Amino acid sequence: MTITITHTLAEGTLVHGTARGDGTGQILGGKGGCGFRFSRNLDAWYLPHSRDWVSNTVVIREAERRLREAGYTVTVEVDDASRGRDFAEAEAERNERAEDRAERYGTRGARAARAGAARWAHNRERMSHIPMGQPILVGHHSERRHRNFLDRMWRSDGIAVKDMKRGEYWAARSAAAAKYQDRRESLPTTLRRIAKLEAELRALDRRLADAQERAAVEAEPGGRAERMRGWIRRMLRRTDAPVPDSPAVVRLRTMREQTDGQLAYWREHVERLEEQGAKVWGPGDFTAGDFALHRGRWYEVIRVNPKTLTVPWQHLGIHTAVLTVEAATKAQKTGGRLHTDRFGYDDIQGRMSAEEMAAKLAQPAVAQDG
């Protein structure tokens, strides 16, 4: 039997050639296995979350090693160079699947809640036939029947409670799935994701430059890569045959293309949100002395940084809607330098100048005087 492990960006990592009961299940997906799952639709084992990404060489090599040790013939076909799905297409599919989950979980939760409520109501109706406070008549001919009835009701109530709790669980899962797209596409989350992707892109550029530099060093006369190139050209019987890049360079280039595609998608999403009226805050919007709205509370800005705002420390026991430097200084018991916090611009919801805040704080007093 020959087992084939394949990977493409379009299909992910798949394992073909296995059969039920041949022992590969424990190697690939059992407890302590390699993390694969079996799909009846694909009729193959698949590695979760491997689609649209470059191959996980560690998992693939481990699966190959274990299968070979078990006596199977294994072939590995990895293609990290071919282009996969567009990120927008993959994102649309994820949102669609979240909607399907929300509907499926909602139906499942409603069914369990109805079953639990119906069983509970039926038990209450049956219990109503026994007068309230009626004790078990020990020694009476009805004792055994009464005890058995109470035991059945106790077990049935337990099943009803479990069904209702199961309904609550699936209802919560349904609500979470329904909010998946809104949470994922919210402006603060998107801005943080863009910053992370930009950092990943810079790291990939460095790694790709290092890999290409190592390849150039190895390609020097007499180097290992130069000898390999000569062997490949001789095999192809061509002196000018192009030599493919190393797998590491191919993987890094593909990862860079994927990251760049994600960045372009999310930047366009931010532009659409701005067209709809959303505000992307930055260091140019604030000066020291302004007030910034952070999660429902206003903080006086102490210092404007390139990526954050420095504000008074929020855990001072001050429960007002506005935290000023003066109030924070008075509340701070340690003395000396004022303790501060830093909030990223992606988590800022509003701005108010010192004059506007003074007028806002004075409004209740003016209304009271009038």
Q: In terms of DSSP H, where are the helices of the chain?
A: 24-28, 57-69, 87-127, 143-178, 180-184, 187-218, 224-236, 247-275, 325-331, 354-369
Query: Whole-angstrom Cα distance, residue 224 to residue 328?
Result: 65
How many other C-beta atoms can be found within 10 angstroms of the C-beta atom of residue 357?
Answer: 17
The number of angstroms, rounded, from the C-alpha of 198 to the middle of its chain's C-alpha atoms is 18
Angle between helices 187-218 and 247-275 (to 10 degrees): 160
Q: Given its phi and psi angles, is residue 139 left (phi above 0), alpha (psi -120 to 50 degrees) or beta?
A: left
**Where in the sequence is the domain holding 153, given as residue range(s)?**
89-181
Q: Is 191 part of a structural domain of the chain?
A: no
Q: Is 193 part of a structural domain of the chain?
A: no
Count structural domains, the chain.
Answer: 4
Tokens linked to 134: 């009626």
79, 100, 124 - which closes a domain: 79
**Interval 30-47: pLDDT, tens:** 788 999 999 999 999 999
Are 53 and 102 in the same domain? no
Q: Which of 26, 1, 29 is nearest to 14 (CA)?
A: 29
pLDDT, mean of each 10-residue run, the chain (370 residues)? 91 93 88 91 93 93 94 93 89 95 97 97 94 90 94 97 97 96 95 96 92 70 57 51 67 92 96 95 96 95 96 89 90 76 94 94 62
Q: Which of 85, 59, 86 is nearest to 5 (CA)?
A: 59
Q: Is 188 part of a structural domain of the chain?
A: no
pLDDT at 133: 87
Are 314 and 264 in the same domain? no
Q: Which of 340, 343, 359, 351 is nearest to 290 (CA)?
A: 351
The number of angstroms, rounded, from the C-alpha of 20 to the middle of its chain's C-alpha atoms is 33
Are 94 and 170 in the same domain? yes
Tokens linked to 94: 């994820």
Q: Residue 308: beta bridge partners?
A: 344
275, 302, 318 - which closes a domain: 275
Query: Whole-angstrom Cα distance, residue 203 to residue 326?
Result: 43
Are 259 and 293 in the same domain? no
